[in-house]
Amino acid sequence: MTTTVGRQYGGRAVVERKAERRLRFLDAATKIFAERGYPACSLADVCAAAGLSKRQFYEEFQTREDVLIAAYDRIQDEAAEAIMAALRELDPSFDITAAMTAIMTEYLQSVGTDPYRAKVAFIEVVGVSERMERHRRERRHSWGTVLESMVVPAVAAGGQVRGGPGLSTSALIGAINGLAHEWLLADPRPPVGALVEVLVPVAVALIETP
């Protein structure tokens, strides 16, 4: 049986080259889906933007929708990492508003500093297919768990979300998605800090404190 682990090609491990190639596809897809709109982009467009072949594409993905999902997941995963970092560094002296401001800022900067990423995360993935909608719902539920089990306890000792699990977090996620959509379409586009100022009071209002 053969394996690619540790095998060298052109002086570099095959797994390293595959990871780099996948990243090129994700970067290219994120950019052109945001610029042109996902429905207007073909698989050939993605390959051309990445400077790679269809054969190489099919070594990483099966369909054009697969690369959209992978790009969306990368944006979401990196935003989750940003929140985890913010939670680890959270100043214990912060009150609930200051703490939520720090966390919301990290999230929105992760997603919104690059408008390409934001447009894919909040606009281009909407209504693509039943599969994509199921995936988005699963990601929303994952974010709800993060908010309920990690963010709320960190910003408000003994606090809990109003209305029971799922309801308040869905309201906050909906507010973030809707506001981000309008932000992306605004001209001129306000700074990310303007979104934070609007969303933090919403988040705080959804938390019950002892």
**Which pLDDT score, from 0 to 100, does residue 8 have?**
57
Q: Mean pLDDT for each consecutive 10-residue tract of the chain (210 residues)?
A: 49 80 96 97 97 96 97 96 94 94 94 89 95 96 92 90 83 92 90 94 91
Residue with tokens 């973030």: 176
**Which pLDDT score, from 0 to 100, does residue 3 have?**
46
CATH superfamily of 64-208: Tetracycline Repressor, domain 2 (1.10.357.10)
**Which pLDDT score, from 0 to 100, does residue 168 have?**
87
Question: What stretches of the chain adopt beta strand conformation (E)?
Answer: 8-9, 12-13, 160-161, 207-208
Write down the H helix ranges in 13-63: 14-36, 43-50, 54-60
The partner residues of 161 in beta bridges, in order of sequence, read 207
Return the closest-CA partner of residue 60 out of 116, 20, 3, 33.
20
**Which pLDDT score, from 0 to 100, does residue 20 have?**
94
In degrees and rounded to multiples of 5, residue 187 shows phi and psi of -145, 110
Which of helix, strand or coil describes residue 113? Answer: coil
**Which pLDDT score, from 0 to 100, does residue 9 have?**
52
**Which pLDDT score, from 0 to 100, does residue 166 have?**
79
Token representation of residue 59 = 């070594």
**Which pLDDT score, from 0 to 100, does residue 106 have?**
94
